Amino acid sequence: MSAKVKVGRPRGAKTKILPVVVMSRGRCPKCGGTERTVVKGHSPREMAHAGADPGGQTYTHIVWRHCSCDACGQRYVEKIYENRPGK
């Protein structure tokens, strides 16, 4: 006889299907690495400006962050289009 161990979700619970949002992190221009540290003191710098990003998605703010690549140390600026509807 084996002990019963409760694992997983409770009986009868429905599996929630959540939408998956595919993200592509900025990459280091030198080595292609995605792990980076934001350099403090410079950033973030942001500007409230509405428009459409290169992919055609609307945005309300542009944010720049100075970053340092964790893999090779390359410094670069990350430019992000953020959408903050209702703010």
Query: What letter would DSSP give residue 51?
Result: E
The burial class, CB within 10 Å (0-12 / 13-18 / 19+), for 69 is buried
Query: One symbol per residue from 32 to 51: x for binding Zn ion (CB under 5 A), - otherwise; what is it?
Result: -x------------------
Note whether 77 binds Zn ion by CB under 5 A: no
Distance in angstroms (rounded) separating the CA atoms of residues 77 and 29: 10
From candidates 30, 45, 49, 79, binder to Zn ion by CB under 5 A? 30
Shortest distance in whole angstroms from residue 9 CB to Zn ion: 41
Binding site for Zn ion (CB under 5 A): 28, 30-31, 33, 69, 71-72, 74
